[in-house]
A and B are shown apart, each in its own frame.
Chain A
Amino acid sequence: DAGITQSPRYKITETGRQVTLMCHQTWSHSYMFWYRQDLGHGLRLIYYSAAADITDKGEVPDGYVVSRSKTENFPLTLESATRSQTSVYFCASSDIASSGMNTEAFFGQGTRLTVV
Chain B
Amino acid sequence: LAKTTQPISMDSYEGQEVNITCSHNNIATNDYITWYQQFPSQGPRFIIQGYKTKVTNEVASLFIPADRKSSTLSLPRVSLSDTAVYYCLVGGIGDDKIIFGKGTRLHILP
Contacts and interface: CB of A to CB of B under 8 A. Distances in A.
Contacts, number: 61
A79 interface: no
A81 B102 CA distance: 25
Majority DSSP secondary structure for residues of B touching A: loop
A84 interface: no
Interface stretch (B21-29, B66-74, B90-98): B90-98
A56 B101 CA distance: 20
Majority DSSP secondary structure for residues of A touching B: strand
Interface residues of A, number: 27
B46 A104 contact: yes
A104 B43 contact: no
Interface in B50-107: 85, 87, 91-103
Contacts of B34: 104
A92 B102 contact: no
B96 A50 contact: yes
Contacts of B103: 42
A107 B45 contact: yes
A35 B100 CA distance: 10
A50 B98 CA distance: 12
